[in-house]
Amino acid sequence: METRFIALAGSLLTESVSGSAYEYGVYAPQVKTLLNFTQAEISAITTTGNVGQYLALPPGIVFDVLGAQWAIAGGAALSVLGYGLFYAGVAGRVPNSPGMLAFYAFIWNQGSTWFDLASLAQGIKNFPNNKGLVMGLVKSLFGLSASLLTLIYSIWFRPDVVRFLQMLVWLIGVFGLVGGLFNRPAPAAEVAKPLTRGDTTKIYIGYGGVLAL
């Protein structure tokens, strides 16, 4: 299989967990009850996390200088660190004031941005003549990832938010690192080659898989 399609598969794997930040609202009520927070404190955690998610300059610089694999590795490190601290905070093992949890949320949201930017940018570089088709597929899985994680939480973990956060640490770290291993630049000759009908079909099959999910 061509390198650009292997890289695209890596992007999709990474994106399948990169939208985890949007799931916070699903389990926030359990965090609120467990730690006796006010709604204003829960909302402040959300707002701080959003700031981390929209601060995309650092991963952009890393992608330009070092490439997608390093940017995704950085995203995995930030996500594991942020979710690890958040999990430990909710479990009462590290400082868990609203301000500290907001800081942890900022870290994991920043990791999500590193994942998303690197996956999307590498797809555009590997498919310069089909940017819209590839961007649509990658971003659709980013949007779907929160729904998939919400389903996992609702079926197997609710209302045990501590155990769910512990699972997220491992899941996001593994998916991010494995996806990053495959997400690399395609050779110039491959990038310049137009997609065949079979190649385009592969991408549409990817869209079909996303719709099925």
pLDDT for residue 209: 81
Q: Give the tens place of pLDDT for each residue, 55-89.
A: 999 999 999 999 999 999 999 999 999 999 999 99
**Residue % of the chain over a pLDDT of 90:** 75
**For residue 193, pLDDT beyond 80:** yes
Q: What CATH number does residue 68 fall under?
A: 1.20.1250.20
Q: Give the tens place of pLDDT for each residue, 3-53.
A: 999 999 999 999 999 988 888 989 999 999 999 999 999 999 999 999 999
Cα–Cα distance for residue pair 4/124, rounded to 1 Å = 10
Mean pLDDT computed over 152-158: 92
pLDDT for residue 1: 76
Range of the domain at 122: 3-212
Q: Is 187 in contact with 61 (CB distance < 8 Å)?
A: no
pLDDT for residue 105: 96
> Is-above-0.85 flag for pTM?
yes
Q: Is the peptide bond before 159 cis (omega within 30 degrees of 0)?
A: yes
Considering its fold, how many domains does the chain have in total? 1
**For residue 210, pLDDT beyond 80:** no
**If DSSP codes are grouped into helix, strand and coil, which group holds residue 183?**
coil
Could you tell me how far CA 17 lies from the centroid of its own chain?
4
Cα–Cα distance for residue pair 95/98, rounded to 1 Å = 9
